[in-house]
Amino acid sequence: MNDIGNNETSPSRDHLAEADVRPVVVVHPVHNSFDTFYRREFSKLAVLAGTVAGNRSVGEDIAQEALSRTHKQWEKVAGLDKPGAWARRVTINLAIGRRRRFASEAKALLRLGPTASEAAETRRGDPSVWSAVDELPPRQRAVIALHYLEDRPVAEIAEILECTVSAATSNLHKARTNLAKTLGESHG
Amino acid sequence: MADQTPSNSPFDDRLRATFNAEHADVERRHLAAGTTVASTSSRSTRMPLAIAAALLAIAGFAFFGNRSSDTAIDLGVAEQPADSEIEKTLDSDDDDGGAIAATTGEGAEQAPEAVASPSPTPTPTVGPNPTFPTATPVPPGGTNFDRCAGVEISRNPAFVWGIGLDDPDGGLVAHTDAAIDAPITRILPLDSAGVRPTGQCRVAANGSPWFEILGPSGPDWVSSNFIKTAQSACLTGEHYGAVVEDGEATERVFGPLDGWAIMGTERVAFAAGINAPTTYRWYPADAVAISTPCFNQSEVGEEVCLSGQVVLFNFTSPEPLMSFSGSANARTTGRLYTPLEDRGLRDEFIEVAVAQSSETTIIGFVDPAATTVTFGACPTGGSDALADLPCTAASSEVVVGSTDRGTTASDADHVHNIRTERAAGCTRIVIDFGIDSTTDTDALADRLPLIGIDKNLVSTTITLPATITGLAKVQRVDFDWGVTLYGGDQVVTLHRPGKINVWFSEFPARAVIDIEIPAQEPRFASGPITGRAAVLSQHIQTDLFGPGIPVNTPVQITGFARPFEASGQWYVLAADESGKVLENREPVAEGIFPTTRWVDGWGEFQATLPALPTGHYVALYGSSPPRGDIFFAGSGQYFRVGLPADGTYAEATEILHMEFSEPFPRDS
């Protein structure tokens, strides 16, 4: 098993919800207020969630929900070395969960609602990149966003996604290969 | 490896630039909007983002939709054409509920009827120095259709209607009151669906009726000339939609979809499920059946058992959502479906929800002609073909000691499911392997991946190859005779000594651990001790050589624990001969132990008890926060040091599911 006990990571929601951890454990002083955290993280979480969900407005909705949950747990989360990782994990789980939960209707509704062309239009940057990203499986989207949006190394991505480094590496490789194929480029 | 760190190839630069541009834009709007923090103090005043997101779809709210402005509401937006100009842009279709008839003259004729009624709508107060032409209120009736200045008012959803792509406002302008010079509240895009009239109507100064509609921040008003009531409808099949009726159809959609529709000249405008604001698109007339729901309704949440060849699918993908041979419990979602052309000719498809785990549920349809659907839960004692095999069955695949199974040629990439089954005298743990873990259509694998197995008296460990990614989130399955922990690259089943068989199958690929439960449980534990936060895989007794031999300290304990932040606590308390903690509740020794996994992971730990004087003790292992509201949860064990056994081989006893506050109670 990986020894990550001393590394930056986060408490699980399940764990925090359990009665056996009712005591408030403040490991580190709370340096940053939630306000600061919110302002710093919202836009990145929104892009991350929007990438996974394939829809910018839904991404902002999910980011808000993730930050709302973070706020509820703030006394604990603030004590972590990197509370942002915790918020990202929540964000990705919400985004993937939402996709799966509404898998049958969502695909059609998303096509009918904010359409592909509209989605591309409302997103900035290269529309063909967004179209290619939207074709990826959700987990690969998350890896791509964490890698290119935040320049996170694979080890950190693995911790956020709660997977092994090899799994994160594999997902990143697959995602880049798929993107390169779709975009007609070589990813080297 | 090139993928380990961000690179700077043109390909990477292209991707990075796109994400940076998107982030910069979201950040810019975020800052421009002055988005407040969702803290307790501000939550009540902040518009929930869900509503804001909904606004996106319904109105192209200037906050989001008007790319040229970052203000929340652009009051400077161009006006809708004056009512006197309306006729030049109206749909000439006469089947529009009378909207076209709302000419100035006709409206003026209706006005006197309304003057006698008191206004049910509060006077608008928004906007600088509001000076409105007098709007005449017309009270709505109690039915779904009433008339206002000759125009029918429906409380059904309506579409924004008759506004061209070249409209200078880009949509229908909503105001605080029924007047074009009343302050603007928002602009509804020209393809908005889900417009909800409240039933309130006012006749503008020029005699044109205006309807009050529900808005994100309260009701506002629009000219009735630009909205049209929709009818319930069903879209079936695969089609392409267009933004305008004569536009190019490029946006693909799959039915069946319940929604609302309005027939146009040659095509039909359709929007799916517009309880929430959305947009409509134009489809071929034969794609949509108006006034015909797609789905019939049935009981919601009813438990059913799916068996035989179980295939879950939706109508938007050629690939099934789930496919396996066996059985599974499911619950109905309340929707039934039969293609319109097949109605009355075959059984309806049944939509069900199948829980794959505590967090993942797959919703899809089953075809009762192919999958057996019976009401009630699947029979216990085995939920699939395994039920036909007796627990601890003799098999050539039974594992003893350390070995491996499977093949590298397997395309399995995750653990699809871990479940327990209970039959008389037997607990069975079934581990299914799956493929396509990164898609929404993951399924059972056929071939067993190359795995290592290590089986001993009290535990079975299955070590998975690095290609298996499905165990990222550490989980625990409790069963009558032990506990299974899985996460990382291992599935560890800690069980009490007994007759244990481990065997494997393919098509589908699975590993099975059968644990035979003796008819009578032993009084004292000799297998793993499980608690809420700790499992002892090597407890105190395992250091003994046999009955009657005292514990030699120091004693090393190993197990799995899930303490907060990977740091657990152990205590040793003095006990009496029966295992009860003595009056003096102060621990005689205590310490902490780290685990190899963080927080929600069941990590391995090792703790060494100090040398202890002769006596009776209880050792506790678990999660105890360092300060504050002390609360301990874990596992425990009674043991003796330096005392002869009493002849019953009672060196250890388990203390299950401990959860109590310190100082510790006597009856632990």
User: pLDDT tens digit string along A47-99?
Assistant: 999 898 888 777 888 888 888 888 887 887 887 777 888 888 888 888 876 65
Domain boundary among B262, B293, B324: B293
* Within-domain flag for B371: yes
How far apart, in whole angstroms, are the C-alpha atoms of residue B646 and residue A67? Answer: 59
B91 with B28, same domain: the answer is no
* Within-domain flag for B136: yes
B88 with B216, same domain: the answer is yes
B95 with B225, same domain: the answer is yes
Residue-wise pLDDT tens digits, B125-152: 223 333 333 344 443 333 345 677 777 7
Answer whether residue B543 shows pLDDT above 70: no
B543 with B562, same domain: the answer is yes
Taking contacts as CB-CB distances below 8 angstroms, the residues of chain B near A23 are 625, 627-631
Tell me, what's the pLDDT at B176? 92
* Within-domain flag for B544: yes
B332 with B452, same domain: the answer is no
B461 with B572, same domain: the answer is no
Answer whether residue B596 shows pLDDT above 50: yes
Handedness of CA A129, A132, A138, A141 (dihedral sign): negative
* Within-domain flag for B564: yes
B474 with B587, same domain: the answer is no
* DSSP sequence for A78-96: TTSS-HHHHHHHHHHHHHH
The position carrying tokens 């309260």 is: B218
Taking contacts as CB-CB distances below 8 angstroms, the residues of chain B near A60 are 26, 49, 52-53
Residue from the list B4, B11, B18 with its beta carbon closest to the beta carbon of A186:
B11
Does B659 lie at the interface with A, CB-CB under 8 angstroms?
yes
How far apart, in whole angstroms, are the C-alpha atoms of residue B642 and residue B622? Answer: 25
**Of B257, B65, B528, residue with least CA distance to A118:** B65
For an interface test with B, the pick among A112, A117, A129, A164 (most B C-beta atoms closer than 10 Å) comes out as A112
Look at the pTM and tell me if it is higher than 0.80.
no
Residue B277 pLDDT grade (very low, low, confident, very high; cuts 50, 70, 90): low
B116 with B19, same domain: the answer is no
Q: Could you give the number of structural domains in chain B?
A: 6
Lowest mean pLDDT among B391-400, B488-497, B550-559: B391-400
Supply the mean pLDDT for chain B: 68
B223 with B129, same domain: the answer is yes
* Within-domain flag for B450: yes
Residue B220 pLDDT grade (very low, low, confident, very high; cuts 50, 70, 90): very high
How far apart, in whole angstroms, are the C-alpha atoms of residue B413 and residue B102? Answer: 65
Token readout for B230 is: 């929709």
Answer whether residue B25 shows pLDDT above 50: yes
* Within-domain flag for B76: no
Highest mean pLDDT among B85-94, B201-210, B351-360: B201-210
Residue B582 gets which letter from DSSP?
Answer: P
Which residues numbered 36-55 in B keep a CB inside 8 Å of some CB on A?
37-40, 48-50, 52-53
Answer whether residue A18 shows pLDDT above 70: no
Q: Tell me whether residues A111 and B253 touch, CB distance under 8 A.
A: yes
Percent of chain B with pLDDT over 90: 7
Handedness of CA B278, B282, B287, B291 (dihedral sign): positive
* Within-domain flag for B555: yes
For an interface test with A, the pick among B22, B39, B350, B623 (most A C-beta atoms closer than 10 Å) comes out as B22
Residue-wise pLDDT tens digits, B361-410: 788 999 888 888 888 877 653 344 455 555 654 444 456 678 888 888 88
Domain boundary among B465, B492, B516: B516
* Within-domain flag for B422: yes
B361 with B333, same domain: the answer is yes
**Of B172, B10, B24, B204, residue with least CA distance to B103:** B204
B288 with B316, same domain: the answer is no
How far apart, in whole angstroms, are the C-alpha atoms of residue B620 and residue A53? Answer: 45
Lowest mean pLDDT among B130-139, B276-285, B583-592: B130-139
Answer whether residue B61 shows pLDDT above 60: no
Q: Tell me whether residues A61 and B50 touch, CB distance under 8 A.
A: yes
Helix (H, G, I), strand (E, B) or coil at B385: helix
Which residue ranges form the domains of chain A, and what is each CATH number? 25-183 (1.20.140.160)
Q: Tell me whether residues A169 and B3 touch, CB distance under 8 A.
A: yes
B267 with B342, same domain: the answer is no
Which residues numbered 222-251 in B keep a CB inside 8 Å of some CB on A?
241, 250-251
Q: Which residue did the predictor score with more confidence, B20 or B139?
A: B20
Task: Report the CATH number that the domain containing residue B467 is assigned in CATH.
Answer: 2.60.40
Contacts of B606 (CB under 8 A, 6+ apart): B556, B557, B558, B593
Strand partners, A161: none
Taking contacts as CB-CB distances below 8 angstroms, the residues of chain B near A24 are 625, 628-629
Does B300 lie at the interface with A, CB-CB under 8 angstroms?
no
Residue B346 lies in domain: 296-375
CA dihedral A17, A19, A20, A22 (to 10 degrees): 80
- What interface predicted TM-score (ipTM) does this complex get? 0.76
Domain boundary among B229, B259, B277: B229
